[in-house]
Amino acid sequence: MLLDNRRLLPLIALQQLLLVLALWPQLQLWIVAVGALTLSVRAMMLWRGWRAPPARALALLAITGTLLLAWQWRALGTLPALINLLWLGYSLKIIEVRRERDIEQVLLLAFFLIALTLVQRQSMGWTLAMAGALWLAVTALVTAVAPEQKQPWRNAGFSLLLALPLLLTLFLVLPRLPPLWQMPTTSRALSGLSEEVAPGDISELVNSSELAFRVTFTDGPPPANDRYFPVMRQELFDGRRWRLSAEIRQWQQAQPMQTAPLQASAGALPGASYEVIAEPQRHRWTLALPRPRVVSGPVQVSPLTTLYRRDRGDQRISYRVTSEPTAPKADLAARRLNLQLPPAGNPRARAHALTLAARYPDRAALASALLDEFRREPFYYTLQPPQLGPDGVDDFLFNSRRGFCGHYAMATAFVLRAAGIPARLVTGYLGGEWNPRGNYLEVHQFDAHAWVEYLNEQGDWQRLDPTAAVAPQRIEGGMTAALSDEFTAADPLSLQRYRNWALLNQLRWWGANLDYQWTRRVLNYDAALLWQQVGARWPVLASHTAWLILACLLGVATLVGTLLLWPGRAPPQQRLWRPLRRRAARLGWQPAEGESLASWCARLGSLVPLLARPLARCAWLYRRWRYAPLSPRQRQRVWQQLQRRLRQTCRAWDGQR
């Protein structure tokens, strides 16, 4: 069972290609190169007769690769480093296969890599791709064990189909268990907003077309100009960056992490609520409409009246939220905190703020006047603003006048505070794309946005978005409407480039909806909810869940075992002769032990002389079909002749009897 079968190596190569594509964000380029090199050397050994590399060379390569990974360990993170180490061992083992046990280890590593990939990627497309990789791996195993089989992929597919009932039963009836161990952390950068914001940070997210979250509303989506999803509220400004307050950071540190469940409760959505499926983020903050109240799910309301995840933030979660009718009033500490400014810096902006405060004593009037300045003066909304100097607010307001939403929001919050009005920066998402196929809102990372909240005369936080004054099309039509040329250039591979292509846009919506339904109905499924419903309907069964699960598993195992033990269908050549055998058996003329088919036909011909010639013809056709060196077309023609002759012989038998 060596790796010298010419059908086996291509199977392993195809499976390796699928795994490389799936694990590409985690794999280092040089690790992939080592895998390609070892596979190429193995192919040359098979087709060109190259000698196997010496064991010392393989050992040196393994030690060098391990040392390089150890050197990169901190930069990669524990989980990516372990994945690369496993791939290195898998690649080197392919070239080292010499014994029967070696190929078993190669395929065992392949099974482990497939499982590890499904931990990382769980979308519908990647699940199907890994199912294909699993089928290739099982086919390779069948080819290695039984190289004489002509169609090993059929046996591999049959084996996987036999395992499918048990897999579905485990998925449907076994509740999700808390993890027995915690996955190692990764240093791979996740997309999302940062807890600290400087000019230009928000515009960097526009380069990412990654999905941020999807929302399903019971009463339809809010209007486009009201789709503000706050995530964080930064209240400290150090002259360059806006940060979370010290009180909020202390609150963060006091929040424990939850491992399960990570899904909202099942069933219909309550009225005036919405369900969010949030993708992994770089932090534990997550989004909701203003004034959220949690209905279900692994989130909680923070002191900033935004949502905070109970998990680490590196998994997909779902939760259900509704909105409170009113927001809490700001206390005296919040008023003082949101008037904080550095003691020096940006003198022109401070002077301008005092001028506005003297001219407009009413806070709403001052905010409106500030927006009018943005509309009236030559300010530009762009993804490529110039670099700002030490006094960034002054440089932006009076010199460059070119910026993204973060520039405008930070300058507005600074001027309001300098004018004596409590204000804070809000970062989150704005807009999104409505998917008519699935009736949900889809928001990507390029929909990230920054705006301002200031304290009005009544003591309520009032939203103020300077982007609406400079680029109103950003509010109504999204990023593609506001910056179509710059946005298209930011991510040339994004499917958003083809929104104006009707057919491609429909296909994009269709694919996104398939993945959304897969996430809602498969990835978010938990059998615990099923057993809760069973217990509510039949209370007598509520305390016997474990026995019911065991009964389901035993029932499926019995069904699969019965299918395995059920007598298989006879080969075609046996089924073809069965009618003649049945007629001969009625007279006691069935074939004797060890008697060939030709001898039996000759014996029947001596017993039934009228059928001697047809029986001899049938025996000759059978030998020709079975042993003659025929082409597939000729073999098919002989098989049809044999079928016709046997039917004629059976009719003649019945007629003479």
* Domain parsing of the chain, residue ranges: 8-173, 201-329+424-490, 335-421, 527-565, 572-656
| pLDDT digit string, tens, across residues 89-131 | 888 888 887 776 778 888 888 998 999 888 878 888 889 999 9
Average of per-residue pLDDT across 65-83 = 86
Q: Which of 465, 491, 601, 618 is catalytic?
A: 465
CA atoms within 13 A on the CB side of 379: 26
Catalytic residue among 311, 394, 395, 405: 405
Sheet holding 292-296, edge to edge: 292-296, 317-323, 273-278, 211-217, 440-444, 433-435
Strands 380-381 and 402-403: parallel
More confident residue, 175 or 464: 464
Nearest CA-CA partner of 442 in 429, 454, 459 = 429
In terms of phi and psi (left: phi > 0; alpha: psi -120 to 50; beta: otherwise), the region of 530 is alpha
Which residue bears the tokens 């002259």? Answer: 239
Q: Is the pLDDT of residue 184 over 80?
A: no
At residue 568 the predicted structure's pLDDT band, cuts being 50, 70 and 90, is low
Say what the pLDDT of residue 485 is. Answer: 56
Q: Model confidence over 357-403: pLDDT tens digits? A: 999 999 999 999 999 999 999 898 887 888 888 888 999 999 988 88
pLDDT at 9: 83
Residues 562-590: what's their mean pLDDT? 81
Is 552 catalytic? The answer is no
On the 0-12 / 13-18 / 19+ scale of CB atoms within 10 A, 493 is exposed
d(CA 386, CA 630): 77
Active-site residue flag, 465 = yes
**What tokens appear for 343 in the block?**
């003691």
Closest by CA position to 409, among listed 374, 438, 451, 379: 451
Pick the catalytic residue from 395, 449, 491, 601.
449
Q: Is the pLDDT of residue 42 over 90?
A: no
Q: Is the dihedral of CA 344, 346, 352, 353 positive or negative?
A: negative
Known catalytic residue at 444: no
Q: How far apart are CA 518 and CA 126, in angstroms?
A: 12
Q: What is the DSSP string of 351-395?
A: HHHHHHHHH--SHHHHHHHHHHHHHHTT-EE-SSPPPP-SSHHHH
DSSP H or E stretch at residue 61: helix 55-76
Tell me the mean pLDDT in the region 477-500. Answer: 57
